[in-house]
Amino acid sequence: MLKSIKEVLTEDDPTPWTGSEATFLAVKNQVAQRWGKKTANEFRATHDARTYRGWLSRNLVVNKGESGLESFVIVEKKNSDGKVIEKIYKKIWLFHRKQGIMDIFGT
């Protein structure tokens, strides 16, 4: 049985956010600029922001025309021994649940 949007958004299904305070504050500041302090104070990095594909994997899609919240991840490049030889900063775009997240099946 398909779940409603409300059920999907409220269930405990955390994002892959790893706990970086810097990325949390950067995204939270963008949330405050777009939707105000109240939404920023309620912001949960583990549930409220995902990549486009992250929402899609939950059968939800962002409204057309929405622009993402800028963040970054650090990708570690390792040698054959498994030792980190380089850290690459990769820009990613996150979408807040307020950005018109809707069920792709229309339910």
Distances (CA, A) of 75 to 6, 60, 91, 92: 33, 26, 10, 12
* pLDDT recorded at residue 42: 95
Mean pLDDT of 1-6: 55
The whole model's pTM is what?
Answer: 0.76
Query: Taking all residues of the chain, what is their mean pLDDT, rounded to a whole number?
Result: 85
Report the C-alpha gap between 17 and 31 in whole angstroms.
Answer: 16
Please write the tens of the pLDDT for every residue from 16-31.
777 788 899 999 999 9
Read off the pLDDT band of 6 (50, 70, 90).
low
Mean pLDDT of 40-57: 91
